């Protein structure tokens, strides 16, 4: 069976979400949060006869009336614009809430778009190569405003403050250059907890002595193989 991958909408489409995150509340110094919530604009394609990984949503049949999906074990007729929702915990500590609409369908596949909210509890970030073989994959835009001393969520990186060489980051490897200027990248790979892996591909938007604003893409994998 082919693996299905949930894909994010384009960065252009998600720009308003990124901006809203930057203008939101500033994260303050302290310990890692035990709980992280990601609300990601999401599109996905489900081939006929297959199931969305981690869920029981299956594209069962297509005829002139519409697309027939299996939802919670029941057969549901869906047409363009109809809702498709699901909530569950594909892995312990990784809860997913899908709020989707049917975009279009044919005899090969059904295309859905909306949001995927992923709530991870028991968070304890560790830097390591992420396991990326899981078919349960979500990706989208994130943005953060960090006070001096605060962690970038989902990482062990902190904002040390503005120095002559640029924005200084803490929590990097000893041999890694810690300074960034506006537009520079910050990449983090690791795990949030058992069976929840993360990659952050961020860029510095703005910084001062007190605040670092940073945004980009997050990718989450739930489960292993």
Query: Please, which residues have CB within 8 angstroms of residue 141's CB and are 6 or more apart in sequence?
Result: 8, 11, 14, 15, 17, 18, 21, 40, 41, 215, 216, 217, 218
Model confidence over 47-65: pLDDT tens digits?
999 999 999 999 999 999 9
**Number of other CB atoms surrounding residue 211 within 10 Å:** 18
**Inside any domain, residue 1:** no
Q: What pairing do the DSSP bridges indicate for beta strands 179-180 and 94-105?
A: unpaired
Confidence category of residue 16, pLDDT binned at 50, 70, 90? very low
From residue 116, give the alpha-carbon distance in Å to each of 37, 96, 133, 183, 213. Answer: 10, 7, 19, 28, 24
**Inside any domain, residue 2:** no
pLDDT > 60? residue 201: yes
Model confidence over 33-50: pLDDT tens digits?
899 999 999 999 999 999
pLDDT > 70? residue 28: yes
**Inside any domain, residue 57:** yes
**Inside any domain, residue 212:** yes
What pLDDT, on a 0 to 100 scale, did the predictor assign at position 224? 72
Model confidence over 115-164: pLDDT tens digits?
999 999 999 999 999 999 999 999 999 999 999 999 999 999 999 999 99
**Inside any domain, residue 123:** yes
pLDDT > 80? residue 208: yes
Measure the CA–CA gap between 10 and 156, rounded to whole angstroms: 28
| Domain around 203 | 7-222
Measure the CA–CA gap between 215 and 142, rounded to whole angstroms: 6
**Inside any domain, residue 43:** yes
The total of structural domains in the chain comes to 1
pLDDT > 80? residue 216: yes
Query: Please, which residues have CB within 8 angstroms of residue 120's CB and are 6 or more apart in sequence?
Result: 35, 36, 37, 38, 93, 94, 95, 192, 193, 196, 220
What pLDDT, on a 0 to 100 scale, did the predictor assign at position 25? 79
From residue 184, give the alpha-carbon distance in Å to each of 27, 110, 141, 202, 217. Answer: 21, 39, 17, 8, 14
**Inside any domain, residue 116:** yes
């Amino acid at each position: 069976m082919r693996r299905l991958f949930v894909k994010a909408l384009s960065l252009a489409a998600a720009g308003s979400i990124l901006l809203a995150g930057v203008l939101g509340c500033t994260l303050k110094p302290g310990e890692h949060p035990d709980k992280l919530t990601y609300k990601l604009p999401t599109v996905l394609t489900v081939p006929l006869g297959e199931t969305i990984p981690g869920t029981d949503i299956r594209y069962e049949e297509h005829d002139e009336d519409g697309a027939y999906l299996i939802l919670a074990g029941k057969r549901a007729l869906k047409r363009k614009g109809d809702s498709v929702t699901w909530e569950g915990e594909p892995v312990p500590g990784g809860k997913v809430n899908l709020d989707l609409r049917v975009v279009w369908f044919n005899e090969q596949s059904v295309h859905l778009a909306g949001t995927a909210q992923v709530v991870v509890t028991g968070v304890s970030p560790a830097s390591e190569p992420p396991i990326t073989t899981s078919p349960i994959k979500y990706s989208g835009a994130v943005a953060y405003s960090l006070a001096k001393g605060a962690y970038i969520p989902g990482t062990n990186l902190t904002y040390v403050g503005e120095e002559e060489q640029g924005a200084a980051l803490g929590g990097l490897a000893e041999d890694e250059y810690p300074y960034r200027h506006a537009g520079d990248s910050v990449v983090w790979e690791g795990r949030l907890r058992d069976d929840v892996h993360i990659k952050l591909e961020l860029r510095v938007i703005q910084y001062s002595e007190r605040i670092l604003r940073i945004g980009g893409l997050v990718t989450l994998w739930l489960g292993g193989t």
